[in-house]
Amino acid sequence: PPVPAPAPAPESTRETGPDPAPEVSPKPASESTPESAPVPTPEFTPGSAAEPASDPTPDSVARDAEAEQEASLAALRQRLVVSAVLATPVVLLAMVPALQFDFWQWLSLTLAAPVVVWGGLPFHRAAWTNAKHGAATMDTLVSLGTLAAFGWSLWALFLGDAGMPGMRHGFDFTVARADATSTIYLEVAAGVITFILLGRYLEARAKRKSGAALRALMHLGAKDVAVLRGGREVRVPAGTLVVGDRFVVRPGEKIATDGTVIEGSSAVDASMLTGESVPVEVAVGDTVTGATLNAGGRLVVEATRVGNDTQLARMAKLVEDAQNGKASAQRLADRISAVFVPIVIALALATLGYWLGNDAGLTAAFTAAVAVLIIACPCALGLATPTALMVGTGRGAQLGILIKGPEVLETTRRVDTIVLDKTGTVTTGRMTLQTTHTAESTDEAEVLRLAGALENASEHPIAQAVATAATDATGPLPTPEDFANVPGLGVQGIVEGHAVLVGREQLLAEWEIRLPAPLAEAKQAAEAAGRTAIAVAWDGEARAVLEVADAVKDTSAEAVRRLRALGLTPILLTGDNRAVAESVASEVGIDEVYAEVMPQDKVDVVKRLQADGRSVAMVGDGVNDAAALAQADLGLAMGTGTDAAIEAGDLTLVRGDLNAAADAIRLSRRTLSTIRTNLFWAFAYNVAALPLAAAGLLNPMIAGAAMAFSSVFVVGNSLRLRTFKGA
C-alpha cells in the first residue's frame, strides 16, 4: 500500500484512572532517639502557588528533618563512644586482678562516674517518667541496677574499706558471705550502660530513615516546567503552577501535575506511580497524572489539580496515615521487664525485711537487698537484641535481604497472609515478546526482522519490546523508509522494499487486509489471556500475530510454593485487568486475586484483610504500593523498585527475586528465635544468682562471672545465624 506522511504519536485508548481524592497535607515522618524529643514536623504544601520566598518547600522541609535526625543519631553515637572508651578499662581492671594497682578503685570511680551519670542519663530519665506513670520497662531495670551498683560502690569507697590502698578483687568463686565494705561493682554499672547504649544506637540507626518514604514520594515530581505565557514557553519551578496553567511536556519529561491534555498525543509511562508496565495512550481530552513520564510525543497539558490536590500528594498522605497508624511492636525486653522489675523490687524489699527481722543489722540487711538489685541487672540484656540483629542482618545482606530493625522480626512470626503485587514482583515489569504466530509459508525470522525494523523507529514501549526481541533473534535491524506513525493504530513504512504494516487489526483493515482464520484465532486467544496482540502484514497480506506481555519471572512459581510451605496464603493484587491477573495467578499457583485495583485502593484491600482477622505481609515495588506496604503488618519491598516503596517496607529484597521473600521470612523468624533465646539466658544466669544475693552470699566474682558468661553465651548463640542458608 502507499505510505502516508508521518503522523503524530498514538491516540488514547484508555484513561489513567479515576480522579484523585480531596485535599491532603503530607508531612515528613519523624523519629526520636534517647537523645531528644521527636523531631518537629512543620506542615508544607507542595506546589502551592504564590508562596513567599521564605516559606518552606518540600525539599527544605525534608532536608531539615533529615538534618535533625542525623544530629540526634550523632549525639547518641557520641554518648556511646565516650561511654565505651571510659567503661572498657573499668571492666578490665575489675575482671583481671593482674591489672589492679594501688588505688585502682579510685581510677575506676573516676572513669565510671561519667558513664553512669551522663551515659546513662536517657535510661534514668525514662525510668523516672515510667515511675510517674506506674510503669516498668527495660529502662527501669537498667536505671535501678546501675544506680544500685554505683551507689553501693560509693558507699564502700567512702564509708567502707574499699577505698583503702592495696584493695584487690580476686578470682574467688566460693559461695560465702562477702565483706560489703570492701566490695565495689563499678564495672557492672559502666558495662551495662555501655552495652545497652550500643543496642539503642543500632536500633536508632536502623530507624533513621523512617520518614524517607514520604520524602521519596515528594521527590518523584518534576522540579520545573515549561509554562505557556503569552504564546511563549517560560521555564518556572513546578511548585508555582496554578490551576488553569498550560504547560508543555516533551518526550522523556515528567508531567508536572495532574491535568488534561489539550494538544498532542503520546504514550505515558505511569509505571513509577501505578506499578503497571503497560503504557497509557493519551490524546486531547484525556487526563494525565503528575510525576508520570511522557514516553512519546509532545503534549500541552492544562493543570487541573496542584499541590495537595494531586494524586501524588494523596498517595503521600496514605503512606503517612499508614505509618502513623501502624503500632510499633513493643520490645520483648520491655515486656519481660514489666514483670521482672516488680518481682526484683519486691524480692529486694523482702530481703531487707527478712534480715532486719532476724537482727542481722541495718548494714547487712541493706547489703543483701542492694545485692539483689545489682545481680538482677543483666549486662547481656543490652547484647541480646543487637548482636542477633547484627549477625542476622549481615547474613541477610549476603542473601539480598535487608532487615530494618528488631521491631520487624516479631511480625514475621504472626503473618498468615502474603499479598503480592503483580508487576515487577511476580512478573518482570517489562513488556516482552512472548509468542510469534506466523501465517502459512511465512518465516518467523523474516517477520521479526521486518516488524522489528519498523517498531525500532517508534518510541512506544510495546514497539520497543518487539524491536528488542527482533534484535536478539536476528541481529542488527534494517532502517525503514517512509516511516509513519498512525495515531491509535500502529506504524507503517518501507523495509527492504516491502510495504510493512504493524499494529492493530484495524490498521490492516484500512488497507483491506484481513487476518486468516488461524491468525485471527491466535489474536483472540492472546487477548483473552490479557496479552497485547499485534498484527503484521506486508505486500498486501497478513503475515503474523505477535503476542506482547509482561512475563512472569522464572522463580515466581517456586517462590509461591515456598511461601505456602511457611504457612502463608498468597494473594495477587494488581491494577491490571482481570484476564491478565488470573492468567498470571494460574501460572504461579495463586487462587485468590484482586484485579483492577487503583493505586489509592490497594491500602484498602490490605485493611479489609486485616479487618477479617488476617495478619498481612505485602510484597511490592512501585510508588503505588508504598501505602499498602506501610499499612501491612509486614512490608517487603523489592529492591529493584522505587525508593518510596523501599523506604515504606520493613524488609527490602535486594535481589528482586520473589524467592527472597520466602528467605526473608525464614531468616527473620530464625533471628527472632535467636533473640528470644538470648533474652532468656540474659536473665537466666542472673536469676540463678538471685537466691545467693538474697541470702547475703553474693560474691563479686560470681556477679562478674554471671555477667560475663551470659554475654559470651548471647554472642555465641547469635553467631549461629551465620550458617543460615537461603534458596
**Span 633-679, pLDDT tens digits:** 888 888 655 555 556 667 878 777 888 889 989 988 898 888 888 88
Least confident of 375-379, 554-558, 631-635: 375-379
Residue 53: its pLDDT value, please? 38
Q: How far is CA 92 from the centre of its chain?
A: 40
CB 381 within 8 A of CB 191: no
Task: Please return the burial class of 52, using the count of CB atoms within 10 Å of its CB with bins 0-12, 13-18 and 19+.
Answer: exposed
Q: Please give the residue that has the higher pLDDT: either 644 or 27.
A: 644
Q: Is there a contact between 490 and 3 (Cβ–Cβ < 8 Å)?
A: no
Exposure letters 331-362 (e unless 16+ CB within 10 A, then b): bbbbebbbebbeebbebbeebbebbeeeeeee
More confident residue, 458 or 125: 125
Beta-strand (E) ranges in 598-705? 616-620, 634-638, 651-653
Among 108-117, 344-353, 524-533, top mean pLDDT goes to 108-117
Q: Which residue in this structure is represented by grid cell 543483666? A: 378
pLDDT exceeds 50 at position 33: no
CB atoms within 10 A of CB 723: 8
Query: pLDDT category, 11, cuts 50, 70, 90?
Result: very low
Of the listed ranges 432-436, 568-572, 706-710, the least confidently predicted one is 706-710
Residue with cell 519523624: 30
Does 725 have pLDDT greater than 60? Answer: yes
How far apart (Å, rounded) are the C-alpha atoms in residues 434 and 637?
Answer: 27
Dist CA 365 CA 342 (whole Å): 19
The CA angle 329-334-340, to the nearest 5 degrees, is: 145
Mean pLDDT of 413-437: 88
| pLDDT for residue 180 | 60
Is the confidence at residue 429, as pLDDT, over 50?
Answer: yes
The amino acid at 97: P
CA 171 – CA 700 distance, rounded (Å):
9
309 assigned to active site: no
Going from the C-alpha of 466 to that of each of 369, 433, 656, the distances in angstroms are 80, 6, 24
pLDDT at 466 over 80: yes
CA 159 to chain centre: 55
Comparing 420-424, 453-457, 703-707, which segment has the lowest mean pLDDT?
703-707
Instruction: Average the pLDDT over each of 330-339, 422-431, 679-688 and give the range with the smallest value.
Output: 330-339
Query: d(Cα 470, Cα 455) in Å, to the nearest integer?
Result: 10
* Residue 33 grid coordinates: 532517639
The type of residue at 524 is: Q
Nearest by Cα to 293 from 319, 274, 315: 274
Contact call for residues 381 and 146 (beta carbons, < 8 A) = no
Assign 120 to helix, strand or coil. coil
pLDDT at 164 exceeding the cut of 70: yes
Long-range pairs, 114-118, Cβ under 8 A, ≥24: 114/82, 114/83, 114/86, 115/82, 115/83, 115/86, 115/87, 115/90, 115/189, 115/190, 115/193, 115/194, 116/146, 116/147, 116/150, 116/189, 116/190, 116/193, 118/79, 118/82
Q: Give the position of cell 529492591.
A: 639
Distance (Å, rounded) from C-alpha 333 to C-alpha 198?
Answer: 15
Per-residue confidence (pLDDT) for residue 54, from 0 to 100: 39
Is residue 557 pLDDT above 60, yes or no? yes
Residues 400-423 have a mean pLDDT of: 80
pLDDT > 60? residue 77: yes
pLDDT beyond 70 at 51: no
Q: Which residues contact 675 (CB under 8 A, 6 or more apart)?
A: 332, 384, 385, 388, 389, 406, 409
Q: Identify the weakest region by mean pLDDT among 86-90, 128-132, 271-275, 539-543.
A: 271-275
Mean pLDDT, rounded, of the chain: 78
Digit-coded pLDDT (tens) for 273-304: 555 556 778 889 988 888 888 877 789 999 99
pLDDT of residue 35: 38
Number of residues assigned to the chain? 727
- What ranges make up the beta strands (E) of 121-276? 224-229, 232-237, 246-249, 258-263, 266-269
Looking at per-residue pLDDT, the higher value among 196 and 494 belongs to 494
Cα 404 to Cα 390, 634, 651: the distances in Å are 11, 11, 6
Provide the pLDDT for residue 477. 92
* pLDDT > 70 in the chain, percent: 77
State residue 210's pLDDT score. Answer: 45
Q: What is the mean pLDDT of residues 513-526?
A: 92
Instruction: For residues 403-419, give the mean pLDDT.
Output: 78
Residue 193: all three cell numbers together: 550502660
Average the pLDDT over 165-191 and give the result.
Answer: 70
DSSP H helices, 429-567, are 444-455, 461-474, 505-510, 517-528, 556-565
Where does the pLDDT of residue 613 fall: very low under 50, low under 70, confident under 90, or very high at 90 and above?
A: very high
List phi, psi (to 5°) of 137. Answer: -130, -175
Of the ranges 94-98, 262-266, 325-329, 695-699, the best mean pLDDT one: 262-266
Report how far apart, in Å, the C-alpha atoms of 550 and of each of 223, 266, 273, 403, 602 are: 31, 21, 17, 29, 20
In this predicted structure, which of 161-170, 201-210, 467-476, 669-678 has the lowest mean pLDDT?
Answer: 201-210
Catalytic residue among 139, 309, 421, 625, which?
421
CA distances from 266 to 14, 95, 262, 293 (A): 12, 75, 12, 10
